[in-house]
Structure 1
């Protein structure tokens, strides 16, 4: 029997990361006085500042904020492949009217964002900002009882073994083939800040820039449909993981298993706690338990 490809479709906020609930204080309040609400809010504000500064300074967000696209390759047909090494992005006449000319200029910006994403934060930020970021990550991970690092560890478990004989990237720059399975992000937030979050929360090695989708303008059902069309096949299985009703309904409409994340201290599925073994259990409920090798591995996690 051919090994099944598993595609994990993740929500971002209050699933892989905690940010909104830090900013509003709802994460800390759920602990009934055991956590300092103000400290959590301050951590959230620091994250917000880091993310927006990266977007504006390096990801053209001050120019393209109102032009959100569902994924980076959405306008690839308009990219003529021109050499951008000497291109002046501040003087190219780019504007908010998305005619064919501006679509090409927006596609150029998306190409540069993708290149920077693949290189990682250490090739974008200076050493002082790197130290601030690392300190903020550690402080937040401690405050949230390892939610961030546990979520990242779960992504690594889900991806499975790296295929050493497979090139790290394919023709479109994705690196899905480098691992046994695929992690995809479908977030209701805008695309560019979501890419910045993947970098800051150390998710970029497990989620390629090509696998980040923004459902802000098109809805999660449409994104799920695109993902099914992109990865679908007789040996492919899907599972959605998130905290919201929209991804739940979209998963149900696709007849995919759905795992509900609950950030409450006693929630059934949260980080730390959730791992690939539990997620594979949901695969087996919907698709059957045909992958005995995977079943044996989950018992060891």
Structure 2
């Protein structure tokens, strides 16, 4: 039995171009698919060159469980922190007390699109909702005893398709160095002052203003495309592209034992509630994160304004932004990495660890029973 090399390179991958992924393969095993073909290098170096999802190390910090409760934002003076276990999953919880009443929202809930929001579920993306980065570095194959070479080849098929669409329809090549944490971080109405052009002292400021306006135009276009095609990405791409993606997605479903199907069941369960909302916080840059949601068929569950990129500010700051947005709600964090677990503990939020199919199944049961 061949021992697979250990790969821990899950951090700080840098992305520049979709088709450039092909150059990562040189001598050794061949990986062919459609019009694309690759030759794989040393497996320990088989990680993506795009900054798709920089994961923290997978070591989990465990702490003692007690009885399950719900959470309140850490800013609430009434909150009494303690550790909690929900259906065997360890969480860090805050118990809200007002007189003899527990587990209530402190103030008026948030109203969003006529939906009264009382619970906010913050999801990690890669290796929680979808399987992607762990295909590229071989972690999924090692963990679940799958074919290592197939995992690598499948990962690069998907990566090529993701960044082909990101470059061709979502201006990622132009925006790779202009990442935004949130789509509404752009001032779409700001225009450069034409009077500055005649003033030499203000030329740099004028050029900067032009660049900002160009970036704003790109992001406005991205927002419109995402919202237009989030329910039917087939209309956005060519017939050949869609056929290739369908083949890759079907292979992924089989290879990962329908991982995304299990995750989607959980998200659907939350979305079906009148008082709950799902939000994504990912270390992927905003543009490829949006493209992933489209291609993995979860864009219908996540409007673009509910996707946050932690690439520049980290997950804790993203969590704080979300808590500022929804204010006096209950918050729950779902993920597989150390970054989101650490941030949830710092902010005193319940955390549900996802490391296997069984974790997703148990989460779905807990959601259906309304115990998480």
Q: TM-score range by the shorter chain?
A: 0.7 to 0.9
| Partner-residue secondary structure (3-state), 2:330 | strand
- The residue aligned with 1:28 is 141
2:173 pairs with 1:62:
yes
String of CA shifts for 1:259-281, please: whole Å, max 9, x gaps. Answer: 11114x7xx62x4x243442577
Alpha carbons 2:269, 2:368 under 8 Å: kept: no
Alpha carbons 2:188, 2:220 under 8 Å: kept: no
| Partner-residue secondary structure (3-state), 1:239 | strand
Q: CA RMSD in A?
A: 2.5
- The residue aligned with 1:247 is 340
2:280 pairs with 1:185:
yes
- The residue aligned with 2:123 is 10
- The residue aligned with 1:122 is 234
2:161 pairs with 1:73:
no
Alpha carbons 1:186, 1:223 under 8 Å: kept: yes
- The residue aligned with 1:208 is 303
Alpha carbons 1:152, 1:202 under 8 Å: kept: no
Select which of 199, 202, 212 maps to 2:294. 199
Of 2-11 and 128-137, deviating more is: 2-11
String of CA shifts for 1:66-96, please: whole Å, max 9, x gaps. Answer: 1111111111x34359xxxxxxxxxxxxx9x
Structure 1: tracts of 5 or more residues without a match: 82-94, 162-178, 282-293
Structure 1 segments of 4 or more deviating over 4 A? 1-4
Alpha carbons 2:181, 2:310 under 8 Å: kept: yes
In 2, the alpha carbon distance for the partners of 1:186 and 1:31 equals 25
String of CA shifts for 1:89-130, please: whole Å, max 9, x gaps. Answer: xxxxxx9x9833322221111111111111222231022222
TM-score by length of 2: 0.61
Structure 2: tracts of 5 or more residues without a match: 1-103, 110-115, 192-203
**Relative to total residues, which structure has the larger helix share, 1 or 2?**
1
**Relative to total residues, which structure has the larger strand share, 1 or 2?**
2
Alpha carbons 1:220, 1:250 under 8 Å: kept: yes
Of 220-229 and 98-107, deviating more is: 98-107
- The residue aligned with 1:110 is 219
Alpha carbons 2:117, 2:275 under 8 Å: kept: no
Select which of 33, 42, 46 maps to 2:153. 42
2:320 pairs with 1:232:
no
Determine which structure has more spread, i.e. the larger CA radius of gyration.
Answer: 2
